[in-house]
A and B are shown apart, each in its own frame.
Chain A
Amino acid sequence: MPDVKMIVNGKKVSGFVECRTLLVEFIRNDLQLTGTHVGCDTSQCGACAIHVDGKLVKACTMLALEANSCEVSTIEGQANEDGSLNFIQQAFKDHHGLQCGFCTPGMVMATADLLKTNSKPTELEIRDHLEGNICRCTGYHNIVKAILAASGQDTSLIAAE
């Protein structure tokens, strides 16, 4: 089997994979980083969203070998150095941006991607950027609210609590 090497959350990792191994399978099964979820496995739900070389991708729709020599960030690398929640995670917690939590790793990774290039996104820009992330619990309102809060904006115009 071919070998694959990458840097995941700042650490060098390597392993042997089948050519057909998906990046999300390598991350979950080989690296045991199970925070990246598989919701649909058909590229629609975004629960497996991670960053590869700084870009948001769906890890279920990329081969592990395509990420060879890349830098990968997953939800496990998002907390602050002391283990406390980072500002996005804290905002999701504070504003009830999750119920069951299954979609949350993908939501947090998509949010981190958005805020990298747009530090004060509008509600419309937030909803547009989360187009590829499905949540079946919250109805999205509190997720949008959490992201407005994480970017230091007024959340009072978002209706749902």
Chain B
Amino acid sequence: MYNFEFKQPKTISEALTALKSDEAQALAGGQTLIPTMKQRLASPSSIVSLSEIPEMKGICKNDDGSISIGGGTTHADVANNSNIFPGLVTLAENIGDAAVRNRGTIGGSLANNDPAACYPAAALSAGATIVTNAREISADDFFQGMFETALDEGEIILSVRFPVPFLSSYQKFIQPASRFAMVGVFLSNFDNGIRVAVTGASEEGVYRWVEAEGALKDNFSESALNDLLIEPKGIIGDIHASKEYRAHLIKVMTKRAVKSAS
């Protein structure tokens, strides 16, 4: 990888100042960015590590019952926290492998918005709020296509606030080599509605399957999904799985999520 300047600020304000320099890139857990830099697909002139900022780590329960997870909190810490709801625990404990989960962070995953990453599905399904240094962004507005988010240059995710669904499930069909989702479905059931988010499948990245949400609202059972059709158009097709196969998996994984949450 090409060389760069390295800064490791201890506070958010120092990090924001460091990120103002030209071509500065924030480094979270590095489990995507470091391999990307090795391949020279990214070559920032300055790296600002966010891993030594205590204010960005940790999990707490808010007065309204929601949960806030610091942007720098690792997948392992989310998986092992008793405040986290079941679907999110399953999700965090099945990202990558044990070593990756000790470094990778929720903020890094959401900011990268890999079309096959797990966390975007949880954030979108649960209707999370992404809290940055500048503003609060609803998950519905945050994800803007493959590797694209609403974040501006130099803007970082300080925390993510999750409303807690009374039922939740994450079902992931693992791509066995990368351990990313071939297709992953996150289902959240709230008093005021059901939200279904699909990752790994669309060329536009994570999205809500609103037809399934409507069908499940009337009849929360696997059979409610039987008549729904998913067109392969716009679905990712590659050497691992064709468009048709992934389209098929969306319904299968959603049914599994319904069964698991029931």
How many B residues have CB within 8 A of the partner chain?
26
Contact A110 B99 (CB under 8 A): yes
Known: A56-B99, A61-B103. A43 touches B3 (CB 8 A): no
Residue B1 lies at the interface, judged by CB distance under 8 Å to chain A: yes
Which residues on A sit within 8 Å (CB–CB) of B98? 56, 110, 113-114, 129, 131-132
Known: A61-B35, A62-B103, A66-B49. A132 touches B30 (CB 8 A): no
Which residues on B sit within 8 Å (CB–CB) of A68? 8
Contact B8 A20 (CB under 8 A): no
Q: How far is the CB of B31 from chain A (nearest CB, A)?
A: 6
Contact A131 B4 (CB under 8 A): no
Cβ < 8 Å to B, chain A residues 1-56: 2, 18-20, 22, 41-44, 46, 49, 55-56
Cβ < 8 Å to B, chain A residues 51-75: 55-58, 61-63, 65-66, 68
A-B contact count (CB 8 A): 72
Cβ < 8 Å to A, chain B residues 60-116: 76, 96-100, 102-103
Contact A46 B6 (CB under 8 A): no
How many A residues have CB within 8 A of the partner chain?
28
Complex Cα gap A85–B54 (Å): 38
Q: How far is the CB of A117 from chain B (nearest CB, A)?
A: 9
Complex Cα gap A28–B243 (Å): 44
Complex Cα gap A44–B177 (Å): 8
Of the candidates A2, A46, A62, the one whose C-beta lies within 8 Å of that of B97 is: A46
Q: How far is the CB of A1 from chain B (nearest CB, A)?
A: 10
Of the candidates B6, B35, B177, the one whose C-beta lies within 8 Å of that of A63 is: B6
* Residue interface mask A88-132, B partner, CB < 8 A = 1: 000000000000000000000010011000000000000001011
Which residues on A sit within 8 Å (CB–CB) of B2? 20
Complex Cα gap A42–B102 (Å): 17
Known: A46-B97, A57-B102, A57-B103. A19 touches B30 (CB 8 A): no
Complex Cα gap A42–B36 (Å): 9
